[in-house]
């Protein structure tokens, strides 16, 4: 990996993209220290350490620590991610609308515009919950003007992150949205290490507990890397054909079907969706019905178990959803037949598509189950044992996935310049 980055730095074009990405991330971190107007930061710290800390700390970890300081990026980028999920589901439910929104550059532009509009609406709901419920005691002034300014600031912060992410995707390296989430997660590492050190110094934690956490984290890291890199190679044979005086085909190759074809997107999407129930509970504040707290709040054992079950289900659903989008077995089988390719022992055409669909479905299920277990197990462990991992399962999956995808993109840039990176060895 480091050799790949070293080679990338030697290429002017790639180096400029890396520098641009770094500068945009600096802008992101600067925004994380600019507080929202009319907000008492000391009162925010008191709220974060209060009874709601479990929910708020979970949201804070994905916003790069901006929630703990109630900064302009406190909402993070998740309202936009949730909006993109909603729009994609709408295009599936209404195929005619989906075709018009995905057809050509004009369709993509409309799709992006509608997604941003829905993102603004969701950001407003979350901003309302934060200002009027979660951090109500931290609002310095309770007049309407102050609250409107805070609403607009939080919404503008989210949409600025969306613009920043699109800018990184266009002119930088990697997927901008994923890069921002990744950077937000790792920015919390220093504070997490400091907290773990203080726990050890006061005797609240032991060295063997840290050793177990380190081993568990390394095991999760290894598993995530394996499922992201793992693939099944389906053999393909091309028939010989004569064109003029030359003979073409006859060679053997393979179709690489990845275990985790959708990458980190199922985890990111499920995390975004799972913030909605917490927002609904927070809208009621202390007046929330008991049954609603037990059902949707992560502060109760029943609510946490339901949260983990739903998150596990959503990860599997989104894994299949993205796998179907990225690997259309019907079209693949048609293209394979058109160019004279076939899988040994499988008839070309529809049987080939069904065979690829079966393999893809089994691999997707395996990868999705592993991702879901890794994402949910640390949450349950923390709740029942009190052991807090430096990286939760969800965070670790996102971090590893984004790093691997970004390195692959850099390698694809270098491939054209005859460099060889560590992933190709």
Residues in the chain: 425
Which three-class secondary structure state does DSSP give residue 103? coil
Over residues 43-77, the pLDDT tens digits come to 777 777 654 445 566 666 666 667 777 888 888 88
In this predicted structure, the answer to whether residue 87 has a pLDDT above a threshold of 90 is no
Question: Most distant CA pair in the chain: distance in Å?
Answer: 85
pLDDT for the residue 106 = 77
Q: In sequence order, which residues have a C-beta less than 8 Å from that of residue 297 and are 6 or more positions away?
A: 55, 278, 281, 288, 303
Structure tokens belonging to residue 412: 């694809």
Structure tokens belonging to residue 332: 């693949």
Place of tokens 């390394």: 218
| CA dihedral of residues 61, 64, 69, 70 (deg, nearest 10) | -90
Residue 139 CA to residue 35 CA, distance in Å, equals 12
Domains along the sequence of the chain with CATH: 1-187 (1.10.3370.10)
pLDDT for the residue 133 = 75
Over residues 200-237, the pLDDT tens digits come to 677 666 667 677 777 777 887 888 888 878 888 888 88
Structure tokens belonging to residue 146: 């102050």
In this predicted structure, the answer to whether residue 287 has a pLDDT above a threshold of 50 is yes
Structure tokens belonging to residue 274: 């799972």
CB of 192 within 8 A of CB of 367?
A: no
pLDDT, average across residues 162-181: 89
- DSSP class of residue 205 equals S
| Sequence-ordered strand ranges (E) for 206-359 | 231-238, 241-243, 246-248, 252-258, 341-342
- DSSP class of residue 189 equals H
Residue 377 CA to residue 307 CA, distance in Å, equals 12
Least confident of 89-93, 102-106, 307-311: 102-106
Q: What sign does the dihedral 124-126-129-135 (CA atoms) show?
A: negative
- DSSP class of residue 239 equals P
pLDDT band at 321 (very low <50, low <70, confident <90, very high): confident
pLDDT, average across residues 186-199: 73
Return the closest-CA partner of residue 368 out of 268, 267, 273, 274: 267
Residue 387 CA to residue 380 CA, distance in Å, equals 10
Residue 176 CA to residue 184 CA, distance in Å, equals 12
Over residues 8-18, the pLDDT tens digits come to 777 788 888 88
pLDDT, average across residues 38-44: 79
**Does an H or E element contain 243, and which?**
strand 241-243
pLDDT, average across residues 333-360: 85
Give me the residues paired with residue 20 across strands. none
Structure tokens belonging to residue 322: 């993205």
Q: 247 or 104, which is more confident?
A: 104
Return the closest-CA partner of residue 401 out of 322, 325, 305: 322
DSSP per-residue codes, 321-387: HHHHHH--HHHHHHHHHHTTEE-TTS-TTHHHHHHHHHHHHHHHHHHHHHHHHHHHHHHHHHHHH-P
CA distances from 173 to 38, 82, 394 (A): 37, 23, 23
pLDDT for the residue 419 = 47
Residue 63 CA to residue 61 CA, distance in Å, equals 6
pLDDT, average across residues 284-306: 67
């Amino acid at each position: 990996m480091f050799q790949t980055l070293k080679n990338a730095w030697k290429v002017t074009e790639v180096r400029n993209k890396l520098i641009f990405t770094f500068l945009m991330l600096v802008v992101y971190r600067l925004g994380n220290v600019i507080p929202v107007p009319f907000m008492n930061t000391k009162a925010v710290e008191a709220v974060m350490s209060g009874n709601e800390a479990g929910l708020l700390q979970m949201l804070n970890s994905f916003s790069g620590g901006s929630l703990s300081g109630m900064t302009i990026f406190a909402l993070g980028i998740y309202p936009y991610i949730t909006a993109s999920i909603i729009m994609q589901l709408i295009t599936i439910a209404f195929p005619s609308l989906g075709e018009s929104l995905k057809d050509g550059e004009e369709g993509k532009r409309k799709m992006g515009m509608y997604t941003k509009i829905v993102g603004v609406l969701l950001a407003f709901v979350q901003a309302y919950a934060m200002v009027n419920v979660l951090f109500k005691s931290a609002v310095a002034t309770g007049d309407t003007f102050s609250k409107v300014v805070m609403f607009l600031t939080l919404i503008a912060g989210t949409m600025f992150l969306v613009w920043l992410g699109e800018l990184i995707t266009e002119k930088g390296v990697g997927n901008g949205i994923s890069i921002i989430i990744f950077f937000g997660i790792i920015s919390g590492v220093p504070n997490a290490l400091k907290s773990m050190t203080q726990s050890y110094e006061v005797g609240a934690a032991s060295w063997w507990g840290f050793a177990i956490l380190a081993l568990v984290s390394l095991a999760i890291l290894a598993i995530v890397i394996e499922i992201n890199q793992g693939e099944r190679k389906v053999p393909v044979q091309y028939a010989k054909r004569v064109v003029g005086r030359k003979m073409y085909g006859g060679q053997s190759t393979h179709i690489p079907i990845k275990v985790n074809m959708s990458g980190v997107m199922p985890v990111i999407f499920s995390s975004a969706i799972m913030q909605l129930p917490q927002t609904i509970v927070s809208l009621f504040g202390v007046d929330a019905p008991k049954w609603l707290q037990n059902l949707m709040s992560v502060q109760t054992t029943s609510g946490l178990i339901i949260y983990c079950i739903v998150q596990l289900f959503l990860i599997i659903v989104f894994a299949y959803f993205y796998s179907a989008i990225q690997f259309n077995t019907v079209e693949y089988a048609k293209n394979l037949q058109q160019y004279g390719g076939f899988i040994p022992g499988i008839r070309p055409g529809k049987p080939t598509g069904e065979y690829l669909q079966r393999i893809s479905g089994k691999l997707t299920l395996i990868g999705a189950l592993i991702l879901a277990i890794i994402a949910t197990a640390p949450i349950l462990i923390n709740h029942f044992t009190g052991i807090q991992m430096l990286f939760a399962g969800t965070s670790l999956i996102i971090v590893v996935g984004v790093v691997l995808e970004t390195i692959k993109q850099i390698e694809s840039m270098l491939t054209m310049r005859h460099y060889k990176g560590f992933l190709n060895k």
